[in-house]
Amino acid sequence: MINNSDIPDGYKATELGVFPQDWEIEKIDRIGGLIRGVSYKAADLGEKPRPGFLPVLRAMNIQTGRLDVFDDLVFVKQERISEKQMLRDGDIVIAMSSGSKSVVGKSAQLHNNWEGSFGAFCACFRPCSDMIDKEFIGFLFQTNTYREYIEKLAAGTNIKNLTIPHILNYQIPLPPLPEQHAIATTLRTVQEAKEKTEAVIAATKALKAAMMKHLFTYGPVPLEEADKVVLKETEIGPMPEGWKVKSLKEVSKIYSGGTPSKDKPEFWKGEIPWASPKDLKSLVLNDVTDHISEEGLTTGSRLVPENSIFIVIRGMILIRDVPVSLITRPMAFNQDMKAICPNADTNPMYLLYALFQYRMNLSPFIGTSAHGTKRISTSAIEDFLIPIPPKKEQSLIVDMLNSVEKKLAAEQSKKEALDTLFNSLLHDLMTAKIRVAPAEVG
């Protein structure tokens, strides 16, 4: 219960908490309406754009804070779509039904004039009141408060469902219109910085992919000199004449891992880093969340030196990827990975980049265990083929790719900082913990 003596001057207690005196608490239905999505049958669908068909968004097109209107679209006969179901600038598309609790309620706002609609498992909230800033409302649908409200409402055993009243009864804090404009402008400024950084990251990843293809085909030579390199055909593709194709077991030692018993707490109270596939989120692994003791090490795992490479060999993640990471300190690891320890003639970072570039060649060797888990056999890892250039060329390739990796890491750190700033501002501005006056955002 809120004590009146704790309420600052100029503020008031409301059912949603303490807010400024000039803010109102309103139900969403006071400022707009909800429109159900398009129902269609298989006969109404087209595989690609053509006259008489319009693109229709689904839940998968609702990304974090944005709508993807380019990929994974379906095309529906225009006659199946009513005029009010055509999306307009400022509309907020909401996933109303999904088998995943994390998807239901997910929303994003359209910020341009796009000729298309949205499917039956979605709905569209259309702001229409003169007392609101449409962009401000769009940001409200990104708050943790909205997410928490949706999670309490999601119903259904296999399919999570929201109803129209669920959305229209949602209560929001509503500042005066000029302050709404100021809040929306502040958040949009940070969001635009995020989007620009994401574009740089995407471009850098594309550059890295192109560089890797070039380097593993022609070696560390400039683009304009690539046609001078004498190539040879091999079982893993063309490469410079002086390179060799070798298996992993020829250039490294390969070890299996394990997990100390979870029933022995003393095994998990040490300082030895212990990795599992969830830790392989980047090409270089510096630290992990789990640690084991010396005693735990002797009963279920193995410690390998720095500059070893972990590769995932078991788990459902193998359906879409084969993660690899180089470790920068000695670590133990579990049975869902192999540790590859390069020999003295193989540059560890070169081997990491080679494994990353060629890892999808392991796809044909991904099998299924008796328990239904995806796995790669030890022999497939040992016999996996990679190109091995002279050691000097290995170092040159590493230097060139490291420069791109540093750029990528810097931009990703910048994006993380902007994400943190945006989320913090979103919460503080929408709860009036921070206030921004219209004059401050000219």
Residue numbers of the domain that contains 107: 24-174
Residue 301 lies in a domain: yes
Same domain membership, residue 120 and residue 65: yes
> Could you give the CA distance from residue 360 to residue 209 in angstroms, rounded to a whole number?
14
Q: What is the pLDDT at residue 8?
A: 85
* Stretches in the chain below the pLDDT threshold 50: 442
Which DSSP category does 244 fall into? E
Q: From the centroid of its chain, how far is CA 14?
A: 36
Query: What is the C-alpha R_g of the chain?
Result: 27
Q: What is the pLDDT at residue 223?
A: 93
Same domain membership, residue 311 and residue 213: no
Residue reference for tokens 């299924």: 368
Same domain membership, residue 198 and residue 105: no
Give the predicted TM-score (pTM) of the model: 0.84
Q: What are the E-state strand segments in 47-136?
A: 53-57, 62-63, 66-67, 74-77, 92-95, 97-98, 107-109, 117-118, 122-127
Q: For residue 94, what are the CA distances in angstroms to 25, 37, 110?
A: 22, 10, 11
Residue 146 lies in a domain: yes
* Final residue of a structural domain among 388, 404, 433: 388
DSSP string, 191-206: HHHHHHHHHHHHHHHH
Same domain membership, residue 435 and residue 347: no
Same domain membership, residue 372 and residue 424: no
Same domain membership, residue 86 and residue 55: yes
Q: For residue 74, what are the CA distances in angstroms to 49, 66, 288?
A: 9, 18, 41
> Could you give the CA distance from residue 26 to residue 15 in angstroms, rounded to a whole number?
11
> Could you give the CA distance from residue 57 to residue 71 in angstroms, rounded to a whole number?
9
Q: What is the pLDDT at residue 172?
A: 94
Q: What is the pLDDT at residue 2?
A: 58
Same domain membership, residue 430 and residue 349: no
Domains contained in the chain, number? 3
Neighbours of 412 (CB within 10 A): 16
Residue 235 lies in a domain: no
Please check whether residue 259 is in contact with residue 404, taking contact to mean a CB–CB distance below 8 angstroms. no
Same domain membership, residue 432 and residue 376: no
Same domain membership, residue 114 and residue 154: yes
Q: What is the pLDDT at residue 63?
A: 87
- Describe the crossing of helices 177-218 and 391-430 by its angle, rounded to 10 degrees: 170
Q: What is the pLDDT at residue 299?
A: 80
Closest CA to 376 of 436, 323, 418, 437: 323
Residue reference for tokens 């049958």: 41
Same domain membership, residue 162 and residue 33: yes
> Could you give the CA distance from residue 402 to residue 405 in angstroms, rounded to a whole number?
5
CATH (domain of 332): 3.90.220.20
Residue 1 lies in a domain: no
Same domain membership, residue 167 and residue 48: yes
* Final residue of a structural domain among 147, 174, 201: 174
Q: Phi and psi at residue 361, in whole multiples of 5°?
A: -65, -15
Q: What is the pLDDT at residue 29?
A: 92
Neighbours of 187 (CB within 10 A): 22
Residue 425 lies in a domain: yes
- Helix (H) / strand (E) element for 172: namely strand 171-174
* Final residue of a structural domain among 388, 406, 429: 388
CATH (domain of 413): 1.10.287.1120
Residue 102 lies in a domain: yes
Please check whether residue 340 is in contact with residue 314, taking contact to mean a CB–CB distance below 8 angstroms. no
Residue 306 lies in a domain: yes
Residue 8 lies in a domain: no
Query: Residue 285's beta-bridge partner residues?
Result: 327
Same domain membership, residue 280 and residue 361: yes
DSSP-derived 3-state class of residue 213:
helix
Report CA torsion sign: 187, 188, 189, 193. Answer: positive
Contacts of 291 (CB under 8 A, 6+ apart): 268, 270, 271, 272, 273, 274
